[in-house]
Amino acid sequence: MRRAHTVDQVRRAEDAVLARVPEGALMQRAAHGLAVAIADLLGGVYGRDVLLLVGSGDNGGDALYAGAALARRGARVQAVLLSETVHAGGLAALKAGYGEVVAAPDARRPDVLVDGIVGIGGRPGLRPDAAAALALFDSVPVVAVDVPSGVGVDTGELDGPHVRADVTVTFGTHKICHLVDPAAQACGVVTLVDLELPLPPAPIEALQAADVAALLPRPEAAAHKYTRGVVGVSAGSDAYPGAAVLCTSGAAGGLAGMVRYVGAAVDAVRARHPGVVVGEGRVQAWVVGSGGHDQAEAALARALEDGVPTVVDADALAHLPPAGTGDLVLTPHAGELASLLGVDRAEVEAAQLAHARAAAERFGAVVLLKGRHSITARPDGRARVTTSGLPWLAVAGAGDVLAGVVGALLAAGLDPFDAASVGSWLHGAAAVQAGGGGPVTPEAVADAIGAVVGDLLG
């Protein structure tokens, strides 16, 4: 599990460690990890040019100590101090290690720029002098210390100029900005240096393959199709029959024992999936709304009468009942979530975590906000971020497949939070497998679900 903690949680944990270890021990460990990561990025140290941009906080100290280590190994290290006060010990170490402090870097293009400008306590945005210093080196690879300076650490939001890193070396634990967009897009590849901090439970998580494997429902030796769960799909319409096919494709990936279809696209569904049962009957979960058009409201009402967990997608989102109606998983994209909350889409995209949490609280439901890093949020604020996908998954019909996958997991017995986050992870991993890292179709993503599950359980 990749866990992301808040600034306050990290500081409390660091204080607990600092009370029992020698002064400077944590910073030395962090700086060593930072120096190793820079060396790895450069493919060596001797003769390389390293430029440090150093602010007043501990991140600046980490950069200075790492710079000293690199200078001792033969790198040419220059530091530009962006504050009148910087970490004294780090500055002394850099000078003792033959690093240089300069008012401005010389004309030589550095091999790497180390961002030690602002730490985890900084506000979003950068001061003009820091932004100007960065602008001089916009084509140079950047390693950020702990977080890219200028991002919203606890929110994942951006507001003004900020560092866009190629690599971010973080310490102790991931921070929320490393997982949540749009700030996560500024982090590049994130490397974690373990500081053995006594951290509390994390408010934000990102499932990894082992976590998904542990959560997947497995059939018992004496299982049959009904004990494994029946998922009902009420999707598609005369206008959008393909949505029914794609939604049942996601549901029919083998995670549940049976798929039952009710809707206007019976012939299309039967042609693709002869094993899908057509017609009313008992189910353990419903998926409604994908391509539902003007039939979505009635379909949602019928599904809610059954009192079983329900995935509410696409057109059905406009007809949500009051909070507390049942175990619901809402699967909006940013535009649909904006409509639900009465805000502009740009507001949702700029503050994705905040809006996913707000919708989960308002509707008393699990909300799966689809995006590059999809967010699954519970009404109590706990959230999971999906990092398994790729940009090629942004294709029409992919959301219909996702709704079906989540519905199958609900029918198989997972709770709404686990079903949504596990389903989102599987959906992303299936896209990678189906396209080999390249373009994918929603049909191929659905077809790859079984292989992904097999790899996890193999």
Which single residue is written with the structure tokens 């602002």? 118
Residue 106 has pLDDT above 80, yes or no: no
CATH number, span 209-457:
3.40.1190.20
**Whole-number CA gyration radius for the chain:** 25
Helices marked H in 43-141: 58-72, 88-96, 128-135
Give CA–CA dist 201/293, Å, rounded: 42
Sign of CA dihedral 372, 377, 383, 386: negative
Query: What are the sequence ranges of the domains in the chain?
Result: 2-206, 209-457
Query: pLDDT at position 105, please?
Result: 81
Would you place residue 392 in the very low, low, confident or very high pLDDT band (cuts 50, 70, 90)?
A: very high
Which top CATH class is 2-206? alpha beta
Tokens of 426: 């599987």
Alpha carbons 252 and 423: distance in angstroms, whole number: 13
Give pLDDT, residue 182: 98
Task: Return the closest-CA partner of residue 399 out of 274, 311, 299, 310.
Answer: 311
Percent of the chain clearing pLDDT 70 (strictly above): 100
Please give the average per-residue pLDDT across 377-393, as a whole number: 96
Q: What is the pLDDT of residues 403-451, one digit of tens each?
A: 999 999 999 999 999 999 999 999 999 999 999 989 999 999 999 999 9
Q: Give the residue-averaged pLDDT of 61-87.
A: 96
CA distance 204 to 424: 15
- Let me know how many helices (H) and strands (E) the chain has, helices first: 15, 19
Q: Note the pLDDT of residue 326.
A: 82
State residue 292's pLDDT score.
Answer: 94
**Predicted pLDDT of residue 323:** 78
Q: How confident is the model at residue 458 (pLDDT cuts 50, 70, 90)?
A: confident
Tokens for 121, please give them: 């306590």
Least confident of 91-100, 101-110, 234-243: 101-110
Q: Is the pLDDT of residue 223 over 90?
A: no
Q: What is the pLDDT of residue 322?
A: 81
Burial class (CB in 10 A: 0-12, 13-18, 19+), 160: exposed
Distance, CA of 416 to CA of 420 (rounded, Å):
6
State the average pLDDT for the chain. Answer: 96
Tokens 């940009």, residue?
A: 391
Q: In the predicted model, what is the mean pLDDT of residues 65-69? A: 98
pLDDT band, residue 122 (cuts 50/70/90): confident
Query: Whole-angstrom Cα distance, residue 35 to residue 433?
Result: 34
Q: Where are the alpha helices (DSSP H) in 1-54?
A: 7-18, 25-42
Predicted pLDDT at 400? 98
The predicted pLDDT at position 324 comes to 74
Write down the pLDDT at residue 121: 86
Q: Calculate mean pLDDT across residues 98-102.
A: 94
Determine the pLDDT at residue 108.
81
Which two structure tokens, joined as six digits, stand for 281? 């009957």
Q: What is the pLDDT of residues 281-296, one digit of tens each?
A: 999 999 999 999 999 9
